[in-house]
Structure 1
């Protein structure tokens, strides 16, 4: 079977209406697959004014706004007759699910009814989200539901070795392939550093800027980031804070990060310039399965201080390209550990430059073309395995 024989029905909870790392990877994947000659149909919630134009053909699925102050996201609630008719016309030979929402559950049932293999991609640590909204007691239930969903699929792909280890340990599946992430080196590079842009924000040439990049939502570890900055100030470590991004928790972050410089939401060349104009990248999040922003920061020549959790643990070489800090359930203890790891970079330019250069060199190993070919190969493997089973069943029935 050739890649050009693939007919992929891809279900996404957010393909393009709000920009995030997961849908950037999915759009890249679809672009690669189309370039290989495959046919792809994307099914996702839609809005009147999406964040960017989708790659490939997209069909809208029924959805509602997400509660708990996350109205910028939509929950795909099912397929509906229109989507089912479109699936029948498209006749996919593989179904790819990228979010464990109700629509993906329905798509999984549809695929099983039609004897079509299903691949699921894991993009975030959904089971960790309840702890950021005072709902930690729900975490075991979420794990149980996710485990049931993923084990009904034929295989999984996950973006880091550390995430695969976590999934295997939680018994989410036993067939899990590494689908890593790439970085666009035309956008992210140390050469994009812009002293004039820094000065326009009030950063002097000798200021050391600790950078946060991402959507401003609590599950990104905003509370730990803010507490770490408090610890740095208590220790009188010279630094400034540069926040790149926006989101519903921006007001909270500004209130708890006095003196922080908020550059706002950036994309493309503006994002590359802003990130490269920082000095240290700090990522306290434990919800990442890969950490696109961590790889982008490395490509920009910034040493990375991150939680030693899924994602960053597979990217950051501790003591070489940055520091990995073992996460603790005690927020104050976390902040003290992070402050201890960040402080040397604030005061030692040679260390900062050495680890930043090592990270930039490491980032060159991540090529989108080779990475996305892995997914295409996994599709083909699952389809050929299903066909072999069907042929064996047919032969057995004929001989009965």
Structure 2
């Protein structure tokens, strides 16, 4: 089988109505598949006001707003008859599941009953979300559901070895392979740094900007971020928090870090400028499977302080291009950031090391690995390898 023989039905809980790391990765993948001659059809909830145009053919799946104050995301209600008819007409020979939601579960069942190959990719650690909303007691149940989901496919693609090890620990026995992530090196590089842009946000030339990058939501570790900033202030460590992004917890964070500079949502080359204008990137999130934002900061020559968790441990060499810290150790985070704030040469060296490592992450070979995984799964099911 060749790439042009593939007919891929991709299922996503969010393909283009909210811009985030997973949606950008999925759209880039679809673009690569189309370039390789594969036929692709995407099934996802949609909105009248998408964040960006979709790559490829997108079929709307009816959905309801997510509860819990996260109505910007949608939850599909399953596979209604109209979607099933569209699937039958498209006649996929491989189904790719990108989220373990209701839509993903129904799609797996649909494919299993028809003997169609099934591949799943991991993008978010959903099992960690409840702990940020006072519902940590349901985490074991979610892990069991996730384990069942990933054991019903032919292959699981994880963004790094740390996630593969994690799901193995849960009891997932399905073969795994790596679908890493790339970065746009023309956009994210040290030359994008702008002192003038920083000044426009009120960040002094002598202040070290501690950056947050991403959706401003509680599950990104905002409580730890705020506590660390307050501790640095109490220690007399001169710094400014620079928040790049928007989200429902923005007012919450602004109340706890009142002197933070909020740059808002940035896109394109403006985003590259914003990231390069940080001095330290602080990522206390434990919900990442890879950490696209961490890689973007590295490519921009910014040293990283991150939680010792999945994603970050695949990217950060502790003490070389940044620091890895126990996830909720506020004092240890403050110690690491203080070292980088107070020692400019160490900060510069760590940023340069991260920039060098990021050069290995490029989208074309990363997405070609997915094509080869698809072909391997098809060959295995056909008994030819």
1:355 aligns with 2:350: yes
Partner of 1:378: 373
1:114 aligns with 2:117: no
Shift of 1:208: 0.7
Shift of 1:174: 3.6
SS in 1 for 2:262: strand
Partner of 1:393: none
Partner of 1:293: 293
CA distance in 2, matches of 1:11, 1:296: 26
CA RMSD of aligned residues (A): 0.9
Partner of 1:222: 222
Structure 2 spans left out of the alignment, 5+ residues:
none
CA distance in 1, matches of 2:39, 2:298: 34
Output the TM-score relative to the length of structure 2. Answer: 0.98
Partner of 1:30: 30
Q: Give runs of aligned pairs for residues 185-200 of structure 1, distance below 5 A.
A: 185-200=185-200
Partner of 1:394: none
Q: Give runs of aligned pairs for residues 97-108 of structure 1, distance below 5 A.
A: 97-108=97-108
CA distance in 1, matches of 2:213, 2:113: 43
Any conservation in 1 of the 2:304–2:323 contact (CA below 8 Å)?
A: yes
Any conservation in 2 of the 1:124–1:288 contact (CA below 8 Å)?
A: yes
CA distance in 1, matches of 2:173, 2:350: 36
Relative to structure 2, which stretch is displaced further, 163-172 or 264-273?
Answer: 163-172
Structure having the higher Rg = 1
Partner of 2:167: 167
Any conservation in 2 of the 1:219–1:287 contact (CA below 8 Å)?
A: yes
Relative to structure 2, which stretch is displaced further, 372-381 or 293-302?
Answer: 372-381
1:236-291 CA distances to partner (integer Å, 9 max, x unpaired)? 11111100000011110111111000000111111100110110000000000000
1:337-377 CA distances to partner (integer Å, 9 max, x unpaired)? 10011001111111111000110010000011111111111
SS in 2 for 1:95: strand
SS in 1 for 2:207: coil
Q: Give runs of aligned pairs for residues 1-400 of structure 1, distance below 5 A.
A: 1-328=1-328, 334-388=329-383
SS in 2 for 1:37: coil
SS in 2 for 1:210: strand
CA distance in 1, matches of 2:164, 2:380: 22
Any conservation in 2 of the 1:42–1:57 contact (CA below 8 Å)?
A: yes
Any conservation in 2 of the 1:155–1:176 contact (CA below 8 Å)?
A: yes
Any conservation in 1 of the 2:153–2:174 contact (CA below 8 Å)?
A: no
Shift of 1:160: 1.2
Output the TM-score relative to the length of structure 1. Answer: 0.95
Off by >6 Å, runs of 4+ in structure 1: none
1:324-348 CA distances to partner (integer Å, 9 max, x unpaired)? 00224xxxxx111100110011111
Shift of 1:153: 1.0
Shift of 1:32: 0.7
Shift of 1:384: 1.6
Relative to structure 2, which stretch is displaced further, 157-166 or 307-316?
Answer: 157-166
CA distance in 2, matches of 1:44, 1:387: 29
SS in 1 for 2:185: coil
1:112-143 CA distances to partner (integer Å, 9 max, x unpaired)? 11100100001111111110010001011111
1:64-91 CA distances to partner (integer Å, 9 max, x unpaired)? 0000000000001111111111111111
Any conservation in 2 of the 1:99–1:122 contact (CA below 8 Å)?
A: yes
CA distance in 2, matches of 1:106, 1:20: 24
Any conservation in 1 of the 2:284–2:306 contact (CA below 8 Å)?
A: yes
CA distance in 1, matches of 2:16, 2:203: 33
Partner of 1:398: none
Shift of 1:206: 2.1
Shift of 1:234: 1.2
Count of residues paired in the alignment: 384
CA distance in 2, matches of 1:365, 1:72: 34
CA distance in 2, matches of 1:42, 1:174: 24
